[in-house]
Amino acid sequence: MAGKASGARGKRPQRPGAPRLSAEAQSGEPALSLERIVAAAVELLDAEGVDGLTMRKLADRVGAGAMSLYWHVDNKEAVFDLALDSVLEYREPPQAGESQDWRGEVLHMLEDWRASMLRHPWSAALLPRRALGPNILLRLELLGRTLSRAGVADADLNVALWSLWNHVMGATITRASFERSDDDLAAAQQRLTGLSERYPTIERSRLLLDNDWDGTFRDGLDFLLDGLAPKR
Amino acid sequence: MAGKASGARGKRPQRPGAPRLSAEAQSGEPALSLERIVAAAVELLDAEGVDGLTMRKLADRVGAGAMSLYWHVDNKEAVFDLALDSVLEYREPPQAGESQDWRGEVLHMLEDWRASMLRHPWSAALLPRRALGPNILLRLELLGRTLSRAGVADADLNVALWSLWNHVMGATITRASFERSDDDLAAAQQRLTGLSERYPTIERSRLLLDNDWDGTFRDGLDFLLDGLAPKR
DNA sequence: ACCTGAACACCGTTCAAGT
DNA sequence: ACCTGAACACCGTTCAAGT
């Protein structure tokens, strides 16, 4: 029911000897391509959410016949995989790895990560169902390198990476689920407020009612980094 | 597209004056009820996963005509909400709140939480799309009380609760997505291993390859609690 | 090599109707 | 009050066929 890494270009065969003039070279319109499909899928997901992505609507948006997608893509699952990973692409800043402010670097990486996902709220809902794509793995790799340079022992790297990843995931998912629409947010707050007699501590903590998500995310991260920092 | 708190008993009207003999009182078979529907939904989700839950299959399993569910339940979203919250029920241990081992209490609560979700792997995939049900809120409330008794200031309670919640969510989701089936797990590990040249740090950390999920979860929690513990 | 429409086996949900 | 089947407007995907 899940798992395959790429899932893309299922039957894409080896290129022919000479790539001779394609439709793309003749008209301005680029031919149907995996890239265009993925880009359109992201647009569609941004506009209509996870349930709004339909193979037929996607084909429509890309100006192709309903079933043309299946030559480029195995199935709908693959579309989700590709859209998710494409949204998590990471461009490493040029001076990375040179400063000795490892904590600042980690903070930057994780905030960029979180921002990428919040820009596409459907990504949080999708992630738990999909495999780790190459862009996610790259982010983890770079994060691990920074921690390693900061002096985290190899034996602690697993826990460290995993805890930070969990923090980003959890924070993004929680926020995304409170942000689907203003109506929902208002309703949720209303609900939480109304429940104060039954949940006095939650009420007192103003859990999720203060809207300073960024601050809370960063504060939690600070706690984690305090614990993770190599003891000297 | 989401958000309503209960979503249940949409049109359940006020009870009639006298509950007179129902089918349930006459035969041994209990009549169709919200409870039976939710229980069957959990069974179905356990057996076939999120995509396996179909209103028709659910009705079948409960021995009812295909469309009878809609009298008890608003729609399929409500079924998901109810199934998710029912799986997260928490029975507080009797001596709770009396020991002064707050750290042990927090650990117990969070491990129980995580275990409940891992027992029903679909719950992790579902959670980011659903609202906070009463059982989740209760768990957060009890967690908050314990932290409060331990000396965490009200001003820090929000970050503390949220960070711990994020840790449980993230850890559960990551693990569930690696556990869907043994095939997938093997495939994922195969993939990670094969990628060692491109991701040397990940390889070195043996990220997600060591199968000591419980230990890693607990270690990460320890880091967090170290940071969260009231400074004295 | 690439794209297509018709067709199949499903969905969730509405509605008028039964008891 | 509670349950039902027929019907509607969709789905994802296969397949034989086009160029």
CB A5 within 8 A of CB B189: no
Token representation of residue B175: 């693990």
Give counts: helices (H), strands (E), chain A.
12, 0
Confidence class of residue B15 from pLDDT cuts 50, 70 and 90? very low
A184-224 pLDDT tens trace: 556 666 666 666 678 889 888 877 676 788 899 999 999 89
CB B165 within 8 A of CB B180: no
Identify the weakest region by mean pLDDT among A49-53, B27-31, B203-207.
B27-31
Assess whether A55 (CB) lies less than 7 A from strand D.
yes
B102-152 pLDDT tens trace: 999 999 999 999 999 999 999 988 887 776 788 988 999 999 999 999 999
Q: How far is A57 from chain B (nearest CA, A)?
A: 18
Report chain B's mean pLDDT, rounded to a whole number. 81
Confidence class of residue A14 from pLDDT cuts 50, 70 and 90? very low
How many domains, chain B?
A: 2
Q: What is the pLDDT of residue B140?
A: 92
B15 located within any domain: no
On whether any CB of chain A is under 8 Å from the CB of B125, the answer is: yes
Q: Would you say residue A18 has pLDDT above 50? A: no
Q: Of the candidates A49, A140, A158, which has its C-beta nearest B216's C-beta?
A: A158
On whether any CB of chain B is under 8 Å from the CB of A181, the answer is: yes
Kindly state whether residues B127 and B223 are assigned to the same domain: yes
pTM for the structure as a whole: 0.84
CATH number of the domain that B69 lies in? 1.10.10.60
B232 SS3 class: coil
Q: At what angle do helices A213-228 and B213-228 cross, to 10 degrees?
A: 110
Find residues whose C-beta atom lies within 7 angstroms of strand C.
A 12-13, 16, 22-23, 31-32, 59, 64-68, 70-72; B 53-57, 66-67, 70, 75-77
Closest alpha carbon to B228 in B134, B110, B125, B126: B110
Q: Residue with CA nearest D2 C1'?
A: B71
CA dist., res. B35 & res. B41, Å (int):
10
A20 located within any domain: no
Assess whether A10 (CB) lies less than 7 A from strand D.
no
B18 located within any domain: no
CA dist., res. B226 & res. B228, Å (int):
6
CA A178 to chain centre: 17
B10 located within any domain: no
On whether any CB of chain A is under 8 Å from the CB of B184, the answer is: yes
C-alpha torsion A103→A104→A107→A112, nearest 10: -150
Kindly state whether residues B107 and B204 are assigned to the same domain: yes
B20 located within any domain: no
Assess whether B56 (CB) lies less than 7 A from strand D.
no
CA dist., res. B17 & res. A225, Å (int):
61
CATH number of the domain that B152 lies in? 1.10.357.10
On whether any CB of chain B is under 8 Å from the CB of A118, the answer is: no
B97 located within any domain: no
Which residue from A minimizes the CA distance to B185? A3
Kindly state whether residues A111 and A160 are assigned to the same domain: yes
Kindly state whether residues A215 and A121 are assigned to the same domain: yes
In chain C, which nucleotides are within 7 Å of a protein Cβ?
A: 1-6, 10-15
Task: HSE, CB side, 13 Å, CA atoms: give it for residue A40.
Answer: 19
CA dist., res. A107 & res. B230, Å (int):
23
Token representation of residue A119: 């820009």
Kindly state whether residues A77 and A113 are assigned to the same domain: no
Closest alpha carbon to A5 in B191, B182, B28: B191
Kindly state whether residues A121 and A198 are assigned to the same domain: yes
When pLDDT is averaged across residues B57-84 and rounded to a whole number, the result is: 95
Range of the domain at B58: 28-87
Q: Would you say residue B162 has pLDDT above 60? A: yes
Closest alpha carbon to A220 in B145, B162, B168, B139: B162
Confidence class of residue A86 from pLDDT cuts 50, 70 and 90? very high
Kindly state whether residues B139 and B190 are assigned to the same domain: yes
Closest alpha carbon to B73 in B1, B126, B6: B6
Q: Of the candidates A127, A170, A199, which has its C-beta nearest B141's C-beta?
A: A199
On whether any CB of chain A is under 8 Å from the CB of B153, the answer is: no
Sign of CA dihedral A132, B86, A52, B58: positive
Kindly state whether residues A129 and A60 are assigned to the same domain: no
Cβ contact B201–A49 (<8 Å): no
Question: Greatest CA separation found in chain A?
Answer: 74
Kindly state whether residues A64 and A156 are assigned to the same domain: no
CB A207 within 8 A of CB B158: yes
**Rounded distance in angstroms from the CA atom of residue A65 to the C1' atom of nucleotide D17:** 15
A6 located within any domain: no
Q: Would you say residue A80 has pLDDT above 80? A: yes
**Rounded distance in angstroms from the CA atom of residue A27 to the C1' atom of nucleotide D12:** 32
A119-175 pLDDT tens trace: 999 998 888 777 678 898 899 999 999 999 999 998 889 899 999 998 998 888 888
Q: Which nt sits closest to B16, CA to C1'? A: D1
Q: Which nt sits closest to A13, CA to C1'? A: C1
Q: Which nt sits closest to B58, CA to C1'? A: C12
Cβ contact A128–B177 (<8 Å): yes
Residues 100-119/B with CB within 7 Å of nucleic chain D are none
Quickly list DSSP for B192-216.
HHHTTTT-HHHHHHTTTTS--HHHH
Q: Which nt sits closest to A55, CA to C1'? A: D12
CA dist., res. B188 & res. A138, Å (int):
16
Kindly state whether residues B120 and B214 are assigned to the same domain: yes
B35-51 pLDDT tens trace: 999 999 999 999 999 99
Q: What is the pLDDT of residue A83?
A: 96
When pLDDT is averaged across residues A11-39 and rounded to a whole number, the result is: 57
When pLDDT is averaged across residues A114-123 and rounded to a whole number, the result is: 94
Name chain A contacts of B180, Cβ cutoff 8 Å.
1-3
Q: What is the pLDDT of residue B174?
A: 80
Q: What is the pLDDT of residue B1?
A: 35
Q: Would you say residue A181 has pLDDT above 60? A: no
Q: Within the 50-79 window of chain B, which residues sit less than 8 Å (CB to CB) from chain A?
A: 50-51
Distances (CA, A) of B202 to A96, A154, B176, B205, B224: 18, 10, 20, 5, 22
Assess whether B72 (CB) lies less than 7 A from strand D.
yes
Kindly state whether residues A80 and A171 are assigned to the same domain: no
B189 located within any domain: yes
Instruction: Give the list of residues 6+ apart from residue B88 with CB closer than 8 angstroms, or none.
Output: B113, B116, B117, B123, B133, B135, B136, B139
Kindly state whether residues B164 and B220 are assigned to the same domain: yes
